[in-house]
Structure 1
Amino acid sequence: MTELTSPAAFPVTSGRRKGYDPGAVDDFLSGARAAFEDEAATLTSDDVRAAAFPLVRHGYAVDAVDGALARIEDAFAQRERASAMSRRGARAWVGASRALAQEILDRLSRPSRRRFRRVSHFRFGYRIDEVDLVAGRIARYLESGESLTIEQVRTVAFRMQLGGYDETQVDAVLDAVVDVMQSVG
């Protein structure tokens, strides 16, 4: 992770395009590096996944930072997996991962247009048809091992619609899918 804390590690946006605030990114990466080196630190892969930075002119290119964060998240997840397996044993770890996968599959197996809570008809939420399409793909991954990568889940984006699916609920399930995928390594 050393190269990720260097100011030259990320391209900087130009013109009217905005990017992540370099100071905020550098501070986060510095803290993440320190936390990774100190196994007693409390930063987790979930914390890395939830990291957000202000957008500014002449900021770091969003795609480059997001790619680095994904790699850092994976490193923390691998460490968390190894730690949990040594504490609880491989059987318990696999059992917990299976239980979470089954919980996700149960939700995604609900009828189309009813997989998630809907927002009010006067508010915007994720487009139902797009979320249902992705939900079907994730369900097939969990049921039969259809090809799907963590990066595809991390980068999925949905358009908005009035009365759509609740963003928070959909995002929580996507985060859980990433957790399951990371747990199986």
Structure 2
Amino acid sequence: MDSTFPRARKPKLGYNTAQVESFLQVARRAYDGTARPDDEPLTSDRIRLTAFAMQKGGYSTTHVDQALERLEDAFAAQERQVAARLHGGEAWLTEARATAQVVSNRLARPEGHRFDRVAPLVRGYSTRDVDRFADKLTRYFSDGWPISIDDVRGVVFKTQRGGYREAQVDLLLDAVVDVMLAVR
């Protein structure tokens, strides 16, 4: 039996194959403009936030995640084209600049104070790791320092007690991805 993606070896967990296949069918229809009335609307943001249940011998998480990134890129390009036709290319870039300014303002905060902290006994992202990556992002926004969208999507932070609130850091990284996709 053919499968869309390689599978995780049997004792290992992978993504639920039925959920992945169902999602890909909806995505294909949405991209082709043949969405069904009962299909949930699909955007690049929604693709980025998609999650699947795990199952033994499911689809390889690495391969599916890479496909989702390519799919997100394709939807973002399509969204950019539609927005440019409807509102002009400058409106799209103006929105991206505004988001970039919000991100830059957050990154300009002093080290150790860029994001809210979790309680002292709760684990959050390592402030040192996040601040180090935030410095790279600051150089990207202020000086055009080279950093790829894959670097942002794939960054992993250690955890520490009393660290930065993960949800807040993740939202900022999503905003950075949005800006990078907008200016491609």
**TM-score bin (small chain):** over 0.9
Matched, 1:144 2:143: yes
Letter in 2 for 1:11: P
Alignment check: 8 A CA contact 1:7 1:26 kept = no
Matched, 1:14 2:14: no
TM-score relative to the length of structure 2? 0.94
Matched, 1:90 2:85: no
The aligned counterpart of 1:3 is none
Deviations 1:110-134 (A, max 9, x none): 1000000101111111111001111
Q: What is the alpha-carbon distance in structure 2 between the residues aligned to residue 36 and residue 91 of structure 1?
A: 24
Matched, 1:27 2:26: no
Q: Relative to structure 2, which stretch is displaced further, 11-20 or 36-45? A: 36-45
Q: What is the alpha-carbon distance in structure 1 between the residues aligned to residue 18 and residue 34 of structure 2?
A: 25
TM-score relative to the length of structure 1? 0.93
Matched, 1:162 2:161: yes
Equivalent residue runs for 1:1-185 within 5 Å: 8-38=3-33, 42-185=41-184
Deviations 1:150-171 (A, max 9, x none): 1110111111111110111000
> What stretches of structure 1 move > 6 A for 4+ residues in a row?
none
**Alpha-carbon shift at residue 39 of structure 1 (Å):** 7.3
Deviations 1:15-41 (A, max 9, x none): 432111111111111111111112777
**Alpha-carbon shift at residue 61 of structure 1 (Å):** 0.6
**Alpha-carbon shift at residue 42 of structure 1 (Å):** 2.4
* Structure 2 residues without counterparts, runs of 5 or longer: none
Deviations 1:32-69 (A, max 9, x none): 11111127772100000000011111011110000000
**Alpha-carbon shift at residue 8 of structure 1 (Å):** 2.1
RMSD over equivalenced CA pairs, Å: 1.5
Q: What is the alpha-carbon distance in structure 2 between the residues aligned to residue 184 and residue 54 of structure 1?
A: 33
Q: What is the alpha-carbon distance in structure 2 between the residues aligned to residue 169 and residue 52 of structure 1?
A: 19
Q: In percent, how many aligned pairs have the same letter?
A: 43
Letter in 1 for 2:57: H
Deviations 1:93-112 (A, max 9, x none): 11111111011011001100
Deviations 1:67-111 (A, max 9, x none): 000000000000111111111111221111111101101100110
Letter in 2 for 1:173: L
Q: Relative to structure 2, which stretch is displaced further, 82-91 or 128-137? A: 82-91
